[in-house]
Amino acid sequence: MVRRALILLERNVFGANTGLLYVQAARRLDLCPITLSADPTQYDNLAAEGLEVVRVDTSDFNALVSECSRLRATYDIAGIISPREAFCATAARLCRHFDLPGPDPASIDRCCDKFAQRQLLAQSGIAVPAYYLALDAADVQRSAALIGLPVIVKPAVGTGSAGVRLCRNIDEVAEHTSYLLGGKHVWRSAPRILVEEFAEGPYYSADLMGNEVFAIATAEFGPLPHFVFHGGTYPAQLTHEEHTRIEDVSLSCLRALGLGWGPATIELRWTMRGPVVIEVTPRLGGGSNPQLAQLAYGVDFLTEHIKLAIGKEWDLQKSKSLIAGSRVLNADRDGIVDWINDDSLVAAIPGLAEVKLYVKPKTRIFQRYDYRDRIGHVLASSPSFAQTESILNRALDLIGWSITQSE
């Protein structure tokens, strides 16, 4: 009997490994997970997982078609997905080529371009921050002057807060522009910078599958001028009116962007004028969000996504109603990790669902003020917000580390 396979186009490289969770979910569905990667060595746990990996240029669509065609001689390819946003559109094009379930590739492409996304949302009457696209330093300066300081300056394409900074004055605008254009930021293609209004207010994110808003969460970030994720909570504490408005805005975003197949995440800020959409991503929320959703509601979002991708019926029926939260450990300097606590004491805390440390002693740390600063996380759930907060704080109190600063 020919084995059914799920193709994973690249994987997450850092931190909470959604790629590994997809592998585990695929195996529970009796699928053989196969990773296609341009550089399998970037995934340090593939051998331990006993996972089949194929080296192929994942930026070359024809090469991917050829490799999938070769695999079809051995496997029944049931579905193709990518846990990484940069490859979601390519995965969608492969699905279309092989007549497999998947989203519209053009819609995914537009969604992953923050400028194109903003245009479509604004044209549909959805509240977004004021914005301009800049191609050089002069463009950035003009855009900042038109919007008015402070402004956020960031790449038009990217994830995980990489290259995102709040600039309060014209000197900070010039400094960050020089950083982005000076060779330190890695661009996928030609530099394109988005300059936008700073939308102030509580942060919320809505998780959707198809045309259904599954959950609304909240999150906290580190001190400005950067936007380093520090933790999140499922569900967000909202009034009925607030929940309804966020749900309505989220569904409007799907319609404006031509989405509505598979997972999506809508990020927004609740400002003085109500919910303002910051970004729409055509994938599951990053970090530990899928695990938090499962802890809070008893729904395995990744498994349901795979079911959708292989043409099976999916179900987001909630079986629990708990408060789940995460806290992220972030490096605060460049240097070498001298020591980091063993996590055995922390793991024994009642209500703690997971403690994971990403680094070991002698690991070199480079602080980048984005998702790559994460060195670990803790997850917890309980019947109340206060209890979950208490469990997370207790865990953080027991975790320590030392980084010798680089000279």
Q: Of 357, 346, 335, 327, which is closest to residue 402 (Cα–Cα)?
A: 335
- 283 as an active site residue: the answer is yes
Alpha-carbon distance 173 to 144, whole Å? 8
Alpha-carbon distance 169 to 139, whole Å? 16
| Residue 112 neighbours by CB distance under 10 Å | 23
Structure token pair of residue 29: 């569905």
What count of Cα atoms within 13 Å lies in the side-chain half-sphere of residue 107?
20
CB 328 within 8 A of CB 377: yes
Could you tell me the strand order of the sheet in which 165-167 lies?
131-134, 193-197, 151-155, 165-167
User: Considering all CA atoms of the chain, what is the largest pairwise distance in Å, rounded to the nearest integer?
Assistant: 66
| Residue 117 neighbours by CB distance under 10 Å | 23
Alpha-carbon distance 326 to 312, whole Å? 31
Alpha-carbon distance 387 to 380, whole Å? 9
Alpha-carbon distance 152 to 200, whole Å? 11
Q: Of 11, 110, 165, 283, which one is the catalytic site residue?
A: 283
**Burial group, residue 97, by CB count within 10 angstroms (0-12, 13-18, 19+):** middle
Alpha-carbon distance 260 to 107, whole Å? 10
Which residues belong to the active site? 283
